[in-house]
């Protein structure tokens, strides 16, 4: 049985897609279907402590990269194209540098290889303050989260992971207890001096500050063939905020 849960769409060359922090594979279902229509076997993967995949007290990018290797071994995928957003981008970067022979092409969405100081604490605090044992509906959960989180878009993103464990009891699909203690690991840089010399595309949101010009030397150190493109009218969730342009730029790269 595969170590990670996934949703597989289409047929063709394997394209493995990894979501970001507190996300899940379902966030990519619409774009995944479009990639499948363009001739790819798309694997939308839940990383450990997220979605329907297993929970673990251990969590860092070396482990997430090993999870991905195990997944590819389980499905007998010798070589794949990898696409990762944010935390998922760090995972695919770490994997590509550790196992470059297993990667056909690499797409990294709005993250660089560097260390990011913890900056999600306000979201974690809002989630920890949510009285899930008293909440009886998504709208109630939204009202409670709104007391601590003003951003409607972030609240809706988080609430996608809310599900009924049993009648009358809601829970999140991500392992909040563990993830709340792993802010340093989530911001960590990819390790080692290894590199992936194959075709690599970095996509950044025009309104996002996650990838700056100052990051380019470090990007080139690990990914000497990297190209950086900017998705207009988008922030950190560039694939959701401007899916048409994200799809256009990624397909141009994939189909070269």
- Tell me whether residue 236 is one of the annotated catalytic residues: yes
Pair (151, 247) in one structural domain: no
65-113: pLDDT as tens digits: 999 999 999 999 999 999 999 999 999 999 999 999 999 999 999 999 9
pLDDT, position 146? 95
Q: In the chain, how many domains are there? A: 2
Residue 179, pLDDT above cutoff 60: yes
Pair (29, 67) in one structural domain: yes
- The enclosing H or E element of 40 equals strand 40-45
Q: Which of 25, 86, 208, 234 is catalytic?
A: 86
192-208: pLDDT as tens digits: 778 999 999 999 999 99
Q: Which of 85, 222, 236, 239 is catalytic?
A: 236
Average pLDDT, the chain: 95
- Looking at residue 38, which CATH number applies to its domain? 3.40.50.1820
Report residue 149's pLDDT band, with 50, 70 and 90 as the boundaries: very high
Residue 35, pLDDT above cutoff 80: yes
Report residue 2's pLDDT band, with 50, 70 and 90 as the boundaries: low
**Domain range holding 147?**
121-179
Instruction: List Cβ neighbours of 47 (8 Å cut-off, separation of 6 or more).
Output: 4, 18, 19, 53, 64, 67, 87, 88, 91
Q: Given the structure tokens 């989260």, which residue do they identify?
A: 145
pLDDT, position 142? 95
Measured distance CA(140)–CA(161) in Å, rounded:
15
Structure tokens at 76: 């007998």
Structure tokens at 123: 């979201």
The burial of 152, by beta-carbon neighbours within 10 Å (0-12 exposed, 13-18 middle, 19 or more buried), is given as exposed
Task: Please check whether residue 50 lies inside any domain of the structure.
Answer: yes
Residue 1, pLDDT above cutoff 60: no
pTM as predicted: 0.95
Pair (155, 236) in one structural domain: no
pLDDT, position 166? 83
């Amino acid at each position: 049985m595969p170590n990670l849960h996934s949703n597989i769409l289409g047929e063709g060359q394997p394209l493995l897609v990894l979501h970001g922090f507190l996300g899940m594979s379902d966030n990519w279902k619409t774009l995944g279907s479009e990639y499948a229509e363009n001739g790819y076997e798309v694997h939308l993967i839940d990383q450990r402590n997220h979605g329907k995949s297993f929970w673990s007290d251990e969590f860092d990018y070396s482990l997430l990269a090993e999870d991905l290797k195990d997944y590819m071994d389980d499905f007998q995928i010798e070589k794949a194209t990898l696409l990762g957003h944010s935390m998922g981008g760090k995972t695919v970067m770490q994997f590509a540098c550790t196992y470059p022979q297993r990667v056909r092409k690499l797409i990294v969405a709005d993250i660089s290889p560097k260390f990011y100081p913890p900056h999600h604490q306000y979201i974690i605090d809002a989630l920890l303050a949510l009285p899930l044992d008293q909440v009886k509906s998504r709208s109630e959960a939204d009202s409670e989260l709104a007391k601590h989180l003003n951003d409607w878009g972030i609240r809706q993103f988080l609430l996608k992971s809310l599900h009924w464990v049993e009648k009358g009891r809601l829970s999140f699909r991500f392992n909040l207890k563990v993830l709340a203690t792993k802010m340093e690991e989530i911001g960590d840089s990819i390790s080692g001096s290894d590199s992936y010399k194959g075709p690599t595309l970095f996509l950044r949101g025009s309104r996002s500050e996650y990838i700056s010009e100052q990051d380019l030397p470090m990007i080139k150190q690990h990914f000497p063939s990297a190209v950086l493109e900017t998705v207009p009218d988008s922030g950190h969730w560039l694939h959701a905020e401007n899916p048409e342009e994200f799809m256009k730029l990624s397909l141009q790269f994939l189909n070269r």
